[in-house]
A and B are shown apart, each in its own frame.
Chain A
């Protein structure tokens, strides 16, 4: 235990502990899953930490708006923890925070591509007010410009500009958002890896365990998706993935790119994770991939919870909490969409990442195309 660590993470740790205790309890999840409809779901949420965010006029609280509102909680806790965390952990949290900015940017580009209006786009975004390169006003201007090149020009003051401008050449040639989105993602993930590597000692070790696992899972899943969904060549899969990670090695990615048995590769990296043998096929591969994705996301959740055990003064604690909160909101999004579409419990309960819920509920997704 070093004095630097204790002094750096004292307040953060106490705050995260308090926030951690406000995460939705298993009983609340059960009540949410079993809620009759969207209104009943909102009623349950109104007794949780999300309550203040849902206090808007009921007629305005559409499912999409509800998702947007509960994301404010994530924004509040992220901003709070970034503010409290000193350097160099501060930089890592900033990078993690940027994932939502990258998501917002991608949603904006998709909006521009499909000719969506600002009103259609605004509630698809993650609300972000501080520690951002791209303000809501910037995004609004981008959407209203209605033109990809002009929109990218409006990001000139941000760290995304160079990446976007370079990828724009391919967008012009292919008229497809894929190169822009992949370029943003890769650039973002490289930034996160850099932030992890700037840490030292316990910070580095814990950030690797938590954030490194997230990067691993993303890298692995993308390599599989490029092969199974997009049918890309070996060279393309390699170029669209990253050569570093915590447990996933470059040889694993290259093996997937070269056409090795996916289930075997994944089992080699994560012996404890359930992998469907169907994953290598084409049609079946898609449902197998959905199941794998779920298993890996649950593995991430497990790693995040594990960060709270043992020595507490490190950046892994706030990082793990933020990731857990993100997973909680993703699960709530699934529930909101499911309840507003009146889906049967069997169809969505198994898709929840944060925990398999309730007695007798399925924990693996139904064998259909989950894309």
Chain B
């Protein structure tokens, strides 16, 4: 539970003739995460490899062609088939596709051509309509001698800027019409400024009216000619569409089947192309959860008895490449999302999900301790998990988190003696935060110290798992850091509290020794782990850097510790907010009438919603910022088993 699922490395030697069924079985199992190629030796640049690559390229091209036909005919991909299709030969698929393309090509081209023509004619029409009333022959406008006139269309968004740019040039910009995002305009000026005006118009994206010279006479006459042309083109486009509809109905199933088959074949051959090769054998490697190895073996044996399968434990140097499958029990799985939102753990690292599940709930409970409020949260969590409320279905994954937070809030509610803000109903099992402010603040600092120490212990565990002994001992979050932290706490405690069972002298000695170890952590780590050079850059720079790092470590430890004071502060604030609700309720209805209870109910809802949210954020912040930064960096590779067709996301 505390580590990602153990993975086994699977190496397969597959006879050439079985490579396709074996790869299909690997994909069908949904267990095999392929490793990067080139790790098993063998001939990578062989003739077979080129064949598979060529087939992959061919399938990719075929897939594009099918999609093009589907798009042209208006057919969507449809859902993936229930059963994974088998490999198809590219030549076979190509014959099918060519036939479909032949049938679709002519009507599609005719439709495109018709639509283009229609758009063009409609554009001419929209440019001409604003000047429909002009009793001027279009040929006259085409041949002005002293006046510069530029009719055209431009984006409405550019109009104002264009006018600004023309402020210093004698000109007039007349807007004739605004439609959608375009305006039909005419720019007037003198021929002397024609060049400046043309450049300005071009930069404002004024596209000049370019009515073909075949349209003559007045604008009204040209419009009549255009309208009849548009009508004819519309009829033509409608005819093209009906023949395309017929084709779509005839081929929809065939196209979808072909698409998924080609797509699965492409993934299959791409996977095989990445295998290493001997003369007549393919070498495949990948990762499988160790517990699932027998299942995978069985699947392979069903399709070939000639496969040599070697299972090995991952080697340390492969840690960065080993995929991570988090295997948490359902009760903590909901917290996995909060971890992966930060990053995936690396294979060698511990999975922080169970620790997060405990600490997140604990920190939340401390800040939000109230039996009633916790109960409401727990019920809300149950509603989320049950998925019965349609509007909340998207949040169902967070249901268990909310339940856990609700339960810890209830536990702390009993400890604080608070039910929906009523402080007299329950006797506190521990303290009332609002009355014992210093106690709760000091306690939460102590809990913070515990959590930070836990973070450092996790870092030590991670270092031990990775066998990084130097890091384990000397890192500022390692053993030296932990001793340094605790000796500083001891010194601070003896300074403020006086009589401690331990004298401050050994504590100071411990702080000095561990502080030195932390200061020169890099050098000592390199020395222990046999890494060279011991110091990167010059010695002077290193010393300065080391001292600054020590300073940063001390500041970091102090600020991280004090950050946890907020737990106590929020516990106090929770009580204070409830008190405010009671004061407001009293002022509305001193006789405790209906108004009193309404205000109380609304106030409690506000506290649950508003403060619950803030406490949630603060908890997340403490986890991500103070706690995770001690031991968890993320950067792991997610486990993604091979599949030939998509089967839904994790």
Are A14 and B38 in contact, with the CB atoms below 8 A? no
Contact across chains for B157 and A190 when beta carbons are under 8 A apart: yes
Q: Does B568 belong to the interface (CB within 8 Å)?
A: no
| Distance, CA A14 to CA B199, complexed state (A) | 51
Given contacts A56-B36, A233-B199, A235-B199, contact A11 B637 (CB under 8 A): no
Residue A140 is within 8 A (CB to CB) of chain B in the complex: yes
In the assembled complex, the Cα of A11 lies from the Cα of B165 at a distance in Å of 46
Taking A7-B613, A17-B625, A166-B182 as contacts, is the C-beta distance between A235 and B637 under 8 angstroms?
A: no
Contacting pair A80 B320 (CB below 8 A): no
A236 touches B342 (CB 8 A): no
**Given known A-B contacts A21-B629, A167-B205, A3 and B610 have beta carbons under 8 A apart:** yes
From A7, A46, A49, contact of B634 by CB (8 A) = A49
Measured in the bound complex, the distance between the Cα atoms of B618 and A13 in whole Å is 10
Instruction: List, in ascending order, chain B residues with CB within 8 A of A18's CB.
Output: 341-342, 624-625, 628
- Does B155 count as interface, using CB distance less than 8 angstroms? yes
* A51 interface hit (Cβ, 8 Å): yes
Q: Which residues of A contact B202 (CB under 8 A)?
A: 170
Contact across chains for B614 and A6 when beta carbons are under 8 A apart: yes
Interface residues of B in 32-88 (CB under 8 A from A): 36-38, 64, 67-68
Q: Are B344 and A52 in contact (CB under 8 A)?
A: yes
CB atoms of B620 and A14 under 8 A apart: yes
B321: A residues at CB distance < 8 A: 55
A37 touches B (CB below 8 Å): no
Proximity bits, B149-172, A CB within 8 Å = 1, else 0: 000011101101110111011000
Structural contact, A233 and B200, CB atoms closer than 8 A = yes
Q: How far is A52 from B637 in the complex, measured between Cα atoms in Å?
A: 6
User: What's the dominant secondary structure at chain B's contact region?
Assistant: helix
Indicate with 1 or 0, residue by residue over B341-354, a CB within 8 angstroms of chain A CB atoms: 11110000000000
Among candidates B341, B343, B536, B617, residue contacting A10 with C-beta atoms closer than 8 Å? B617
Q: Which residues of B contact A243 (CB under 8 A)?
A: 160-161, 164
For residue B122, CB closer than 8 A to chain A, the reply is: no
Bound-state CA distance A15–B68 (Å) is: 41
B162 touches A239 (CB 8 A): yes
Assess whether A201 is interfacial by the CB under 8 Å rule. Answer: no
Is A46 touching B158 in the complex (CB atoms < 8 A)? no
Instruction: Give bound CA distance, A46 to B633, whole Å.
Output: 12
| Chain A residues within an 8 Å CB radius of B204 | 239
Range for the number of chain B residues in contact with chain A: 35 or more
Q: Complex formed: what's the CA distance from A144 to B181 in Å?
A: 30
Residues of chain A in range 158-201 having any CB-CB distance to chain B below 8 Å: 162-163, 166-167, 169-170, 179, 183, 187, 190
B320 adjacent to A236 (CB under 8 Å): no
- Is A344 part of the binding interface, using a Cβ–Cβ cutoff of 8 Å? no
* Nearest residue, chain B, Cβ from A258: B168
Contact B620 A11 (CB under 8 A): yes
Interchain CB contact (< 8 A) of B341 among A80, A234, A235, A250? A80
- Encoded as 1 (CB less than 8 Å from any A CB) or 0, chain B from 176 to 209 comes to 0000111000000000000010011011110100
Which B residues, 451 to 473, have Cβ-Cβ distances below 8 Å to chain A? none
A239–B165 touching, CB < 8 Å = yes
Chain B nearest Cβ from A156, distance in angstroms = 10
Chain A residues lying within 8 Å of B506, measured Cβ to Cβ, are: none
Chain B 82-105 per-residue mask, 1 if CB under 8 angstroms from chain A, else 0: 000000000000000000000000
Q: Which residue of chain A lies nearest to B541 when distances are taken between CB atoms in the complex?
A: A359
Are B158 and A239 touching (Cβ within 8 A)? yes
Contacts of A235 in B (CB 8 A): 165-166, 169, 196, 199-200, 203
Cβ-defined contact, B161 with A141, below 8 A = no
Residues of B within 8 A of A234 (CB): 165, 168
Chain A residues with CB below 8 A from B251, complex form: none
Q: Are the CB atoms of A240 and B620 closer together than 8 Å?
A: no
Task: Name 15 extra pairs, CB < 8 A, besides A187-B157, A235-B200.
Answer: A7-B609, A14-B620, A14-B624, A18-B628, A27-B545, A46-B320, A55-B321, A57-B36, A167-B205, A169-B207, A179-B205, A233-B200, A235-B199, A250-B164, A254-B164
Across the A-B interface, give the 8 residue pairs with the lowest CB-CB distance, nearest first.
A235-B200, A239-B203, A238-B165, A18-B624, A14-B620, A236-B203, A235-B165, A10-B617
Which residue numbers of B lie inside 8 Å of A, CB to CB?
36-38, 64, 67-68, 153-155, 157-158, 160-162, 164-166, 168-169, 180-182, 196, 199-200, 202-205, 207, 320-321, 341-344, 536-537, 541, 545, 609-610, 613-614, 616-617, 620-621, 624-625, 628-629, 634-637
Residue contacts A-B, CB under 8 angstroms, 14 given? A7-B610, A13-B617, A15-B341, A21-B624, A21-B625, A31-B536, A51-B320, A55-B320, A57-B38, A137-B67, A163-B155, A170-B207, A243-B160, A250-B164
